Amino acid sequence: MSAGPLTSSPHGHQGHSVRQLMLHVLLACVPGTAALVFFFGHGVLFNLVSLVLFALLFEALVLWIRQRPVLPALHDLSAIVTAVLLALALPPTAPWWLCIIAIFFAVVIGKHLYGGLGYNPFNPAMVGYAAVLVAFPVQMTRWLLPQGATTALPGLGEAITIFADGELLQGIDAFTGATALDSFREQQGAQLVSEFLQASPLMGQWSGLGWEWINVGFLFGGLYLLYKRIISWHIPAAVLLALAVFALLFHDSGSSASHGSPLMHLFGGATMIGAFFIATDPVTAATTKHGKLLYGALIGLLIYVIRAFGSYPDGVAFAVLLGNIAAPLIDTFTRPRTVGHAK
C-alpha cells in the first residue's frame, strides 16, 4: 500500500485538465490563424510570437512577485491562449511596443491584478485590446490591405521594418488602409450597397475580402471545440443569432443607408473568433444555461450596435467587455430550478 493522506470521494476522474482544454482551444485556432496569415502576411506571426513570449514573461514575473508557484500556472497554458487571442485581434502592422503594451494590460492588469486565473471579471485579451485601441487609435486602425486586393502584401523585410517601427517604412500607406467593416460604414449614404460592393477592392463575395475566409476558419475551429465539448453551443449560437437578427432588421434591403447584410456581419471582422473563442471564455462568461443564452445575445446585439452606430473598426472587444460586466447579474437571475424545488 502506498502511504499518503486519505482522499475523499470521488476517487475517479474523467482525466481532463485545464491544460488539455487550453490545448484544444489553441488547436482550434489553427485554421483561422492560417487564413489570417495567408491574407495578411508575416505581421500576424510577429504578433503571435512576441505576444506569447511576453505573456509568459509577464505571467512568470507577476506570479513571482505574488509569491505563487510559477511553473504550474505556466503549465496550464492560459497565458498562451490569452496571448494568441490578443495577437489575432491586433492589426498585422502593429509595432513591437504596441504588442508589449497590449499583453501587459492583458496579463498583468486584466488577469493578475484581479487575482489571476479564475478571478478576473474581464476577458484579459479584450482588456489588452481595448486598452491599446483607446490609447493608440492610429496604429490600431491601420490594417494591411488583404492578399488579392490592389497591392501585394509587404515582403518579409518590409514586415520586419513595420514590426520594428512602422513609421520608418517608406510608402507604408501603399500597404495599409481601413478594414472592410470600417470602409463600409464610411461609405454610408453615398452609394447603394451593391455599387459599393462592386467598386471597393476590400469587399469579397459576401463580406470583407479575406475576412470571410478567416471567419470560415474560426467557424471550423469553433465547431471543433463544440465537437470536443470544450465549449457549449449556447453562447456562440446566441451571439450569432442575435447579430444576424439585428443585421436583418436594419438591413434595409441594400439601400445606401443600409448597415450591411447579416452575411456580411456574420463573416466580417472578428465575429466568429469572438463568438466561439472570446465570448466563450468560461471565467468571464455567464455560467447557467439560460444565462449563457442571454449573455451571448447581449454580446451579439452590442457587436451590431457598435459596428453599425459606433466609430470603432469592430465591436467585438467592447461588446464582450460589456457582456462580462453583466455576467454575474445574469447568473444571479437565471439560476436553474433545483430538482425537488418549486420554481
**Where on the chain is the footprint of other proteins (CB under 8 A)?**
1-2, 4, 6-14, 16-18, 20-21, 72, 76, 78, 116-119, 232, 282-283, 285, 287-289, 331, 335-341
Please list, in sequence order, all residues whose beta carbon lies within 8 angstroms of the beta carbon of residue 273, skipping any fewer than 6 positions away: 32, 85, 88, 89, 215, 218, 316
Minimum distance of other proteins from residue 331's CB (angstroms):
8
Q: Rank residues 145 and 283 by Cβ distance to other proteins and give the closer one.
A: 283
Minimum distance of other proteins from residue 275's CB (angstroms):
17
Tell me if the bond preceding 236 is cis, omega within 30° of 0: no
**Whether 117 contacts 16, CB under 8 Å:** no
C-alpha Rg value of the chain to the nearest Å: 21
Q: Rank residues 35 and 79 by Cβ distance to other proteins and give the closer one.
A: 79
Under DSSP, the state recorded for 113 is G
Please give the single-letter amino acid code of residue 6. Answer: L
Cα–Cα distance measured from residue 274 to residue 179, given in angstroms and rounded to the nearest whole number = 17
Q: Rank residues 190 and 342 by Cβ distance to other proteins and give the closer one.
A: 342
Task: Name the burial class of residue 267, with classes exposed (0-12), middle (13-18) and buried (19+) by CB atoms within 10 angstroms of its CB.
Answer: buried
Q: Rank residues 3 and 190 by Cβ distance to other proteins and give the closer one.
A: 3
Minimum distance of other proteins from residue 33's CB (angstroms):
23
Minimum distance of other proteins from residue 34's CB (angstroms):
27
Q: Rank residues 136 and 233 by Cβ distance to other proteins and give the closer one.
A: 233
Cα–Cα distance measured from residue 251 to residue 342, given in angstroms and rounded to the nearest whole number = 43
Cell 489570417 belongs to 36
Q: Rank residues 58 and 211 by Cβ distance to other proteins and give the closer one.
A: 58
Q: Rank residues 127 and 144 by Cβ distance to other proteins and give the closer one.
A: 127
Minimum distance of other proteins from residue 248's CB (angstroms):
30
Minimum distance of other proteins from residue 280's CB (angstroms):
10
Minimum distance of other proteins from residue 88's CB (angstroms):
21
Q: Where are the beta strands (DSSP E) in 138-274?
A: 143-144, 176-177
Q: Pick the closest to residue 154 from 96, 92, 214, 215 (CA basis).
A: 92
